[in-house]
């Protein structure tokens, strides 16, 4: 039905889209996010494949609307994206990862449709943006939250002393006794010397896990 050259071209598009997904997923993995290389690679592979199906599989059916296949990519990604977003105590996590998955599907669809340059450019641009937006300058709008998990929620005074040492002002503290979790909402624009802060907090015997969001 199709020539060997056409099949090779489709294979190239699928492989390239998958590699672009791997590049985006690697950045997420490096930040210990839930959706990493494998997830983004599979999303890219599937999206590019569906776009190829949508564009080329129905040429011999005059009444078929191939665009409907590509349209379902968005619905599927919306379902997957909802799985990485969660809310706890008014704290929302996973939005950036979900948005990245959505963009990855769009990039893969571009490549599957033959818009190679647009897909590769968008991949590089997205990875660069993800890197840049983690610089302190771009975090001035948000106040970091420090999540500290302890065996016993009773070390606030010692934690406050460490915060004071690093010039961290606490605006609000939330305590979840069921999870032995304390969330400190800070007034700081950003937090410097994170490695040293982590070491000092982990020196407290009851502290088992620390996250800065």
What is the rounded CA–CA span in Å between residue 123 and residue 120?
Answer: 5
pLDDT tens column, 81-140: 887 887 655 556 778 888 889 999 999 999 999 999 999 999 999 999 888 876 655 555
Q: Which long-range contacts (CB under 8 A, 24 or more apart) does 133-142 make?
A: 134/31, 136/189, 136/190, 136/192, 139/189, 139/190, 140/189, 140/190
DSSP 87: E
Nearest Cα neighbor of 38 from 56, 52, 24 is 24
Task: Give every CB contact of residue 188 below 8 A, 6+ residues apart in sequence.
Answer: 143, 144, 167, 168, 169
State the virtual CA torsion across 97, 142, 129, 104 in degrees, nearest 10.
Answer: 20
Give the strands of the sheet with 170-176, arranged side by side.
170-176, 181-186, 145-150, 207-212
Share of the chain above pLDDT 70, in %: 77
Longest dimension (CA), the chain: 74
DSSP 3: -
Nearest Cα neighbor of 190 from 212, 159, 162, 165 is 212
Tokens representing residue 105 in the block: 């599907």
Tokens representing residue 17 in the block: 């889209």
Query: Is residue 11 within 8 Å of residue 19, measured between CB atoms?
Result: no
pLDDT tens column, 62-94: 666 777 787 888 888 888 888 788 765 555 677
Task: Show the domains of the chain with their CATH numbers.
Answer: 4-134 (no CATH), 141-212 (3.30.70.100)
Band (pLDDT 50/70/90 cuts) for residue 22 is very high
DSSP H or E run through 170: strand 170-176
């Amino acid at each position: 039905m199709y020539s060997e050259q056409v099949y090779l071209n489709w294979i190239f598009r699928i492989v390239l889209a998958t590699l672009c997904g791997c590049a985006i997923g690697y950045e997420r993995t490096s930040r210990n996010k839930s959706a990493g290389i494998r997830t983004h690679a599979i999303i890219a592979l599937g999206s590019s494949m569906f776009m190829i199906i949508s564009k080329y599989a129905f040429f011999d059916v005059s009444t078929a609307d191939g665009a409907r296949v590509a349209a379902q990519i968005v619905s599927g990604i919306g379902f997957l994206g909802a799985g990485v977003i969660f809310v706890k105590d008014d704290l929302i996590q996973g939005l950036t990862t979900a948005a990245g998955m959505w963009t990855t599907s769009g990039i893969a669809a571009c490549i599957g449709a033959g818009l190679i340059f647009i897909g590769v450019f968008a991949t590089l641009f997205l990875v660069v943006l993800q890197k840049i937006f983690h610089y302190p300058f771009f975090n001035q709008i948000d106040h970091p939250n420090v999540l500290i998990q302890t065996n016993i929620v009773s070390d606030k005074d010692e934690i406050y002393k460490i915060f004071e040492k690093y010039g961290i002002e606490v605006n609000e503290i939330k305590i979840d006794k069921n999870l032995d979790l304390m969330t400190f909402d800070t007034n700081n624009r950003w937090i410097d010397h994170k490695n040293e802060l982590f070491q000092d907090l982990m020196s407290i015997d009851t502290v088992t896990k620390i996250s800065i969001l």
